[in-house]
Amino acid sequence: MAADDCNAFEVYRDRVDRPLLRLVREYGAGEAHWLVIGMAANVVARVAGLVPPVVLDVAIDAVFTGDGPYTLPVVPDAWLPADGLYVKLWGVQAGEIEELPEEFVDRARERHVDRAVERAMGKEAVESETLDD
């Protein structure tokens, strides 16, 4: 094929004014809602990508620098730890506090004992069922 020969697409482009816009109007007009949904999902994804830096900023300000309380925008305060226990645990992890807070040790001990009792009760229930058979 010679370089000066025109192919069918070049002839079509010469005949039609704004061929890409014509194709979008013809084939994409009925699917415009998908374009809007895709654009909205893209915006939501971009905003969601900014959440971790905001949480880290608030946590660093509250725990390490003590500049502000541990509150997050749009998140109810009831969902956030209010007793300061997690702040103390961060202090232990950062090396600012030498030992674990007593309340944390007590809670962990209670949970450990509760789980041990549940396991023991579960074993006794299984053993009693096998003995009854």
Residue-wise pLDDT tens digits, 11-27: 777 777 887 888 888 88
Q: Indicate the DSSP class of residue 79.
A: G
Q: Indicate the DSSP class of residue 96.
A: S
Instruction: Between 31 and 108, name the one with better pLDDT.
Output: 31
Q: Specify whether the CB–CB gap between 70 and 79 falls below 8 A.
A: no
* Residues ≥6 apart with Cβ < 8 Å to 61: 67, 68
Most confident of 15-24, 26-35, 105-114: 26-35
Q: Output the CA angle 64-65-70, nearest 5 degrees.
A: 75
* Mean pLDDT confidence for 86-104: 70
| Distance (Å, whole) CA 13 – CA 3 | 17
pTM: 0.42
Q: Indicate the DSSP class of residue 82.
A: -
pLDDT tier for residue 132 given thresholds of 50, 70 and 90: low
